[in-house]
């Protein structure tokens, strides 16, 4: 028998054509997925470290994104570097140098709480490398302001006591003060470290680089009382260049309490 049956050959050719088309579509899909891949830099708040972003980082990385969550000098895995020489400029340099040495571009910069200070300062040098920012229950300082001006009564008292005792950092409040859910309070308590005093006493130098970023988002967790965050939210709501979101279920450490919700928001606005 001949193996050149025309029906069989036509079917084979059609199958080959379909296979080639599927491969082309697969290639296009892969290219689209690659184009959608983002780089995120996550900056923690006072007393915390890169560890607090682990759940968020895992979720983002599982979706194919690149994530950096550094610990700032003197905190967490870098707590051995705590000294009186650690100032706001130190933490600004931590962020700027990460961008420079990792050649980061088209980044979504996410800043939590105190992280709004060094992140605002860093944007003065790396604004052209950042395509979007997310301020998560974070300070939104203006030129010439310093952290000590906005410290909570507990934080201010702890800083005054630390300075009087000659120690370079102040102790963290219990996780319950941040509204951390009960299940995670012991874990957070085991990770927090002293916050350098010097970062709160140096005035910040800003020229408006933060507000020149094209895509800007402010997220507020109002269960955590902080007048500066309430003001920042109100200002952002009145500014059409900012998007705003609020969570009524999470405490201040949104990345710990509601990582899935936070990732959904970040991916919407990045």
Distance CA 47, CA 171 (A): 8
Evaluate if pTM is beyond 0.95: no
Distance CA 151, CA 116 (A): 14
Which residues are within 8 A (CB) of 19 and not within 5 positions of it... i.e. 6 or more apart?
Answer: none
- In three-state secondary structure terms, 126 is helix
Q: What tokens were used for 22?
A: 């599927």
Task: Give me the tens of pLDDT residue by residue for the chain, a chain 270 residues long.
Answer: 334 343 334 444 444 444 444 444 444 344 344 448 999 999 999 999 999 999 999 999 999 999 999 999 999 999 999 999 999 999 999 999 999 999 999 999 999 999 999 999 999 999 999 999 999 999 999 999 999 888 777 777 888 888 888 899 999 999 999 999 999 999 999 999 999 999 999 999 999 999 999 999 999 999 999 999 999 999 999 999 999 999 999 999 999 999 999 999 999 999
Which residues are within 8 A (CB) of 33 and not within 5 positions of it... i.e. 6 or more apart?
Answer: 64
- In three-state secondary structure terms, 225 is coil
Distance CA 111, CA 43 (A): 5
């Amino acid at each position: 028998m001949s193996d050149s049956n025309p029906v069989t050959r036509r079917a084979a050719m059609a199958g080959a054509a379909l296979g080639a088309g599927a491969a082309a579509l697969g290639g296009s899909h892969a290219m689209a997925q690659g184009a959608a891949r983002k780089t995120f830099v996550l900056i923690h708040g006072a007393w915390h470290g890169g560890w607090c972003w682990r759940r968020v980082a895992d979720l983002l990385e599982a979706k194919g994104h690149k994530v950096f969550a550094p610990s700032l000098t003197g905190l967490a895995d870098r707590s051995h570097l705590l000294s009186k020489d650690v100032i706001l400029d130190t933490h600004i340099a931590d962020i700027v140098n990460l961008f420079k040495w990792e050649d980061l571009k088209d980044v979504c910069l996410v800043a939590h709480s105190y992280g709004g200070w060094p992140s605002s300062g860093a944007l003065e040098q790396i604004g052209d490398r950042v395509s979007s920012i997310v301020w998560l229950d974070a300070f939104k300082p203006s030129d010439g302001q310093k952290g000590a001006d906005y410290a909570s009564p507990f934080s201010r008292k702890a800083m005054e006591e630390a300075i009087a005792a000659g120690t370079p950092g102040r102790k963290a409040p219990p996780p319950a003060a941040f509204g951390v859910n009960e299940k995670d309070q012991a874990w957070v308590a085991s990770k927090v470290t002293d916050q350098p005093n010097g970062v709160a006493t140096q005035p910040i130098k800003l020229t408006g680089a933060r507000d020149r970023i094209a895509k800007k988002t402010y997220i507020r967790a109002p269960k955590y009382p902080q007048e500066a965050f309430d003001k920042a939210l109100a200002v952002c709501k009145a500014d059409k260049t900012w998007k705003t979101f609020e969570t009524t279920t999470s405490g201040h450490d949104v990345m710990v309490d509601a990582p899935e919700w936070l990732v959904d928001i970040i991916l919407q606005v990045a």
